[in-house]
Amino acid sequence: MTLLPLDPGVRARQADNGNGLHMHWLEAGDASPETPMVVLLHGFPELAFSWRHQLLALAQAGFHVVAPDQRGYGRTTGWTANVDTDPRAFRMDNLVRDVLGLIHVLGKKSVHAVVGHDFGSHVAAWCALIRPDIFRSLAMLATPFTGPPAMPLGAADTPDPRARQLAEALAGLSTLERPRKHYQLYYSGLEANAEMHGASQGLREFLRGYYHLKSAEGADKRPAPLPDLSAASLAGLPTYYVMDADLGMADTVARSMARREMQPSRWLSEESLNVYSDEFGRTGFQGGLLWYRAATTRGLQQELQIYAGLTVDVPSCFIAGEMDWGVHMLPGALDAMQNDACTRWVSTRFIADAGHWVQQEQPEAVNAALLDFLKTGR
C-alpha cells in the first residue's frame, strides 16, 4: 500500500476494535485520557484521509482528533464485502458499535464531539442518538438526519406514511417520460460495484468526475428545496442523484463529463486523487455499498424501529456547502432535523463556494465553523 501524504503531526494507527475489525485510523493531538476527543466519520466514497485538512487544525485547538476508515473502507480489515454478503453487519447500530470499540481501544470514556460527513453524518447522529452519555455533542456535514425509523400506531406491519410516500415517489421515477432511478437503490443493487470499479473511463477518471460533479466546481445551477416529495420533483435533482434508468453511475458521470472542459481542481490535488484511486482500486466499492443495501432493506430498517421515538438530545449543528444538492435531496429533511430529530439545536451554516465535499473544498471555513461549535456551541 502506498504511503499516505499526511501533514507532519498526523499519525496512522491500527488495532482490533472488539467488533470484528482491525481498524485503521488517522489521529492528531495529545492522546492522553484527559484530552477531549473529537471523532471524524467519513462518507461515500471517502476515507479517513478525507479529513486530512481537519486533523491538525482541531488538534492544535486542544483536541485529540481521530478519523477511522469505517467498516467496508480503506485500510480497515475484518469485513467481508461480496455481492451476496449479508448487509446486517453494515446496519447503523453496528456501525455505532464499531466507533464505540475504537473509543474503548483509545482509553476514552467519552467523546467531546462526533462529526460526520455524508453517510458518516448518519453514523454520527446514531452515535449521539443511542449513546448520548458517551457522545456529548454532534456535528453533521452535508447530509441531514431525520431520526430513526418510525413505528406507526396500529398493525405491526403498517408502513410509516412518510416512508410510504417516498416509496411511491421512487417507484414513480420509472414511469416518467424519461425513465429514471434513484442512486441509493442503484447503489443497493448487485451490479453497482462491478460497474463503477470497472468503469469504462478508468477508475481514476470515474472518481475525478464523480468528485467534480458533486463539488461547487461542477455545479450547473444553485441548489434549491424541492417543491414536494413526488417523482416529478425528484427528477429535478442532478443525474448523480436521480439517474437515467438505463445507465450505471460510471456511465452517468462519463456522459456528464463529456460535456465539460475540465480545469485543474483547486481542492482535489492529483496526489489526493491518487490516494482515492489506489484505495478503491484495491478494495472496490462493495463495502461502502453495503451501507446502502442495509439502509434500503425493509427488514433491517424494521429492526431499527426499536429506537423509534428517540431524539438526539445533545448539542447539535449542521454544516453544508451552499452548492450541495444533497441537502435538498429529501424534501423537508433539513426542517425535520432541526425541529424534530434534534432537541438541542445550535446552528446551521452554509459555506460559500463549496459543494458536497465541503470539508475538502473549503477546509478553513469548515474548521472555523467546527471550532466555533466545539468551543462555544454547548
Backbone torsions φ then ψ of 228, nearest 5 degrees:
-165, 175
Helices (H), the chain: 52-59, 92-105, 119-130, 161-172, 183-187, 192-197, 203-213, 231-234, 249-258, 270-283, 286-296, 298-303, 333-336, 358-361, 363-376
CA max distance for the chain: 60
The residues near 153 (Cβ < 8 Å, ≥ 6 apart) are none
Distance CA 140, CA 11 (A): 24
Tens-binned pLDDT, residue by residue, of the chain (378 aa): 778 999 999 999 999 999 999 999 999 999 999 999 999 999 999 999 999 999 999 999 999 999 999 999 999 999 999 989 999 999 999 999 999 999 999 999 999 999 999 999 999 999 999 999 999 999 999 999 999 998 876 655 666 777 788 899 999 999 999 999 999 999 999 999 999 999 999 999 999 999 999 999 999 899 999 999 999 999 999 999 999 999 999 999 999 999 888 889 999 999 999 999 999 999 999 999 999 999 999 999 999 999 999 999 999 999 999 999 999 999 999 999 999 999 999 999 999 999 999 999 999 999 999 999 999 866
- Please name each of the domains of the chain with its CATH number: 11-148+308-376 (3.40.50.1820), 161-286 (no CATH)
- Residue closest to 350 by CA, chosen among 374, 334, 333: 334
Can you give the pLDDT at residue 156?
57
Contact 116, 125 (CB under 8 A): yes
Can you give the pLDDT at residue 309?
94
Please give the grid coordinates belonging to residue 352. Answer: 460559500
Can you give the pLDDT at residue 204?
98
Backbone torsions φ then ψ of 320, nearest 5 degrees:
-150, 160
pTM: 0.97
Can you give the pLDDT at residue 263?
86
Can you give the pLDDT at residue 162?
75
Cα separations (Å) of 111 from 11, 40, 134, 293? 19, 11, 6, 29
Q: Residue 321 has what DSSP assignment?
A: E
Please give the grid coordinates belonging to residue 209. Answer: 468526475
Exposure string of 254-271, with b = 16+ CB inside 10 Å and e = fewer, is: bebbeeeeeeebebbeee
Can you give the pLDDT at residue 163?
79
Q: Residue 341 has what DSSP assignment?
A: I
Distance CA 132, CA 342 (A): 12
